[in-house]
Structure 1
Amino acid sequence: MPLPFLTADRTFETTAESALPYDDPDRWRRPYRPGPWRVGVAALVLLLASFVLFAGVLTAVTGSLADAGAVLGVGLAIVVGSLRLLRMGVWVSRRGLRRTGFLRTRTVPWARVVSVRTVQQPVRWLGLPRTVQGQALAFVRKDRRPDDTPPLLTTHGLDFLGRPMAFDRAADAVETWAAEYGGR
Structure 2
Amino acid sequence: MPLPFLTADRAFEEAAADTALPFDDRDQWRRPYRPGPYRVAASALLLLLASYVLVAAVIIAAAGDVTAASLCGALAVLIIAAALRLLRMGTWVSARGVRHVAFLRTQTAPWNAVVTVRTVQQPVRWLGLPRTVQGQALVLVRRDRQGEQATLLTSHNGDFLGRSTAFERAADSVEVWAEEYRPQR
The separation in 2 between residues aligned to 1:28 and 1:134, in whole angstroms, is: 27
Give the CA RMSD over aligned residues. Answer: 2.2
Distance between the aligned counterparts of 2:143 and 2:150, measured in 1? 15
8 Å Cα contact 1:42/1:86 also seen in 2: yes
Q: Contact between 1:123 and 1:136, CA under 8 Å: does it hold in 2?
A: yes
Deviation at 1:21, TM superposition (A): 1.3
* Aligned AA (2:172): D
C-alpha distance in 2 between matches for 1:19 and 1:10? 11
1:120 matched to 2:121? The reply is yes
Q: Secondary structure at the match of 1:137?
A: strand
**Distance change >3 Å, CA 51–CA 19, structure 1 → 2:** closer
> Which residue of 1 is the match for residue 3 of structure 2?
none
**Which residue number corresponds to residue 153 of structure 1?**
153
Corresponding residue SS for 1:38:
helix
Q: CA deviation at 1:62?
A: 0.5
Correspondence 1:19-38 to 2 at 5 A: 20-38=21-39
Q: Is the 8 A contact 1:12 1:21 kept in 2?
A: no
Per-residue deviation, residues 94-131 of structure 1 (Å, max 9, x unmatched) = 00000111111111000001111111001011111111
Residue 101 of structure 2 is matched in structure 1 by 100
| Unaligned stretches of 5+ residues in structure 1 | 1-6
1:58 and 1:94 map into 2 onto residues whose CA distance is 49
Q: Which ranges in structure 2 are unaligned for 5 or more consecutive residues?
A: 1-8
Counterpart secondary structure, 2:183: coil
CA distance in 1, matches of 2:146, 2:133: 23
What is the one-letter code of the residue matched to 2:153? L
Aligned to 1:4: none
The 3-state SS of whatever aligns with 2:27 is: coil
Aligned length: 176
Please give the TM-score of this superposition, normalised by the length of structure 1.
0.89
Inter-partner Cα distance in structure 2 for 1:157 and 1:19: 23
Aligned positions of 1:19-168 closer than 5 A? 20-146=21-147, 148-168=148-168
Aligned residues: percent identity? 58
